[in-house]
Structure 1
Amino acid sequence: MENTQQYFSSINCEIQIIRARNIEQSSLGKSNLFVRCYLPTGNNHRVKLNSQEISSKSDLFWDETFSLDCMGNQDSINMMKQGTVHFELRSRKYIPLLGKNIVGSQLLGKAEIPWKRVFESTEMELEEWAIFIATSKNNEDVKPPAVKIAMKLKVNEAIKVEKNDKLRRSWDESCSCKGYCGCNSGSIFSADDYDIFAFGAALDAL
C-alpha cells in the first residue's frame, strides 16, 4: 500500500530591520530610505518585501519586523539552509509633476545573509551590522553603509499529515501570505511536491 503520510514541521522566521549608520546624508538630499528583502521560496522563486520608509535626515531607526510562517518536511528545511536572504538599501525621492508624484528608488548598496548561519547560531538567533556593498564608487575614506539586522528561527515539532488534495486545499485556505507566496495557485506549496518550500508572509511593525 502506498504511504500517504508525510511529516511536516512549521517554522517561524523573523527578520528585523533595526537601524542604519554610515549614510552619506548630504548626497541624498531630501529623500526617504527603506530596506528591501528578497526571500527564497524554492523553485527559483523569491518573495520581495519592503520596510517602511524613513527620512534620510532622521535618526535612521526602523525597528521593524517581518514575521514569516513556513511549512515543510526535512527536505524542505535542508533546502532552506542552502538559501540566502538578500537585502537592498534604497532611497526614494518624490518629485511633484503635473499634480502627481513621480516616484522611483535608487539602489545604494547590497548585502546578504545565508539562512545556514542562522540555523547554526546559538538558539538560532543572529544579530549583526550587515555591511552594504555600495553600487557606486565612493571615497575610500568613507565607511560603507550598514544596517543592523536580526534574524530568528523557531522550528516546531513535526506533525504527521495526509498526502491528499483535501490537506492541500486546507493549507491554501489557512495561509496568511495574503498573496505574497502564491500558494493558492498551487505553484508554491504542494504535499506532492515537497521540494518546494512555502512561505506565508505578514508584516508586523514593532
Structure 2
Amino acid sequence: MGSVRNLCSLKFEVKILEARNVELKSSPSSLFVRFYLHAGSNRKIELNTSEIGSKPDNDVMIWNQSFCLECQGNETAFEELKQESVVFELRRRKTTSFMRKWSRSELVGRGEVSWKSVMESDGMEIERFVVMGEMKDCNSKPLMLKIALKLQASKLVNTKRVEDLCGCRDCNTCNCLDYEALVVACALDGL
C-alpha cells in the first residue's frame, strides 16, 4: 500500500481595527492599510482596506475590517509560514487630486508581525498594536496600528485513499465501514 499523503488546510483571518496617533500635518487625504501575506515560492498577496477620509486634526482612524483567506498545502508549507511575517503599511492618498482614484499612494508608516508569534500564542490568535516605522509629517507620538491575526490549521487526508483501500466503486452496495475506520485511523496517526 502507498502512504497516505497529508495536506494542511490553513485559514487566515486578518482584522484591521484602528490606527492611533494619526496626526498628519499636510492637506486632507484618505488613508488605507495595505498588507502582504506570504503565498509560498517567494510570492506575496497584497490586500487593501477601504479608504477613510482623514483631516489633519484626526488622531484615531477606525476601520474594523476583516479579511479571511483559506488555502491548502503540504506540511512543509506550514513550517515555512513560521519564518514569514505579515507586513502592514499605512498609506495616504491625497483627496484633492483630480485623478484621485488612479493617483499613487504614499507610505505613512510600516510594521510587521511574525506568524511564529501567532502560532505560539494561545489559540493561535493575537490582538495587538503594531508600532509603525518611519512616518512622514507626523508628530513625536508613535503611529500605532491595532490588528488581530488568527490562524487555524488542520491536516487533511487525500480523499482518493478511501477508494484505494476499499476497491469497490460504489460504497452503497458493500460494507466499507472497516475501510473508513482504517482511513480515520491513518488520519489521526498523521496528526
| Superposed pair shares fold, TM > 0.5 | yes
AA at the equivalent of 1:105: S
Structure 2 unaligned runs (5+)? 162-191
1:4-83 → structure 2 map (5 Å cutoff): 5-25=4-24, 27-57=25-55, 59-83=60-84
CA distance in 2, matches of 1:76, 1:11: 10
Provide closer, same or farther for how the CA distance between residues 78 and 129 of structure 1 changes in structure 2, counting only shifts above 3 A.
same
CA distance in 2, matches of 1:94, 1:106: 12
Higher share of residues assigned strand: 1
CA distance in 2, matches of 1:113, 1:10: 21
Instruction: Look at both structures and tell me which one has the larger radius of gyration over its CA atoms.
Output: 2
Q: 1:151 offset after TM fit, Å?
A: 0.2
AA at the equivalent of 2:121: S
Tell whether the 8 Å contact from 1:16 to 1:66 is kept in structure 2 after alignment: yes
AA at the equivalent of 2:148: A
CA distance in 1, matches of 2:26, 2:14: 26
Alignment partner, residue 183 of structure 2: none
1:117 matches 2:117: yes
1:127 matches 2:127: yes
Tell whether the 8 Å contact from 2:111 to 2:132 is kept in structure 1 after alignment: yes
Q: 1:161 offset after TM fit, Å?
A: 4.8
Q: 1:70 offset after TM fit, Å?
A: 1.7
AA at the equivalent of 1:15: V
Q: 1:112 offset after TM fit, Å?
A: 0.5
Give the RMSD, CA atoms, in angstroms: 2.2
The sequence identity of aligned pairs, in percent, is: 37
Tell whether the 8 Å contact from 2:26 to 2:137 is kept in structure 1 after alignment: no
1:170-181 → structure 2 map (5 Å cutoff): none
CA distance in 2, matches of 1:120, 1:127: 13
Tell whether the 8 Å contact from 2:125 to 2:151 is kept in structure 1 after alignment: yes
1:88-103 → structure 2 map (5 Å cutoff): 88-97=89-98, 100-101=99-100, 103=103
TM-score normalised to the size of structure 2? 0.74
TM-score normalised to the size of structure 1? 0.69
Give the total of aligned pairs.
157
Higher share of residues assigned helix: 2
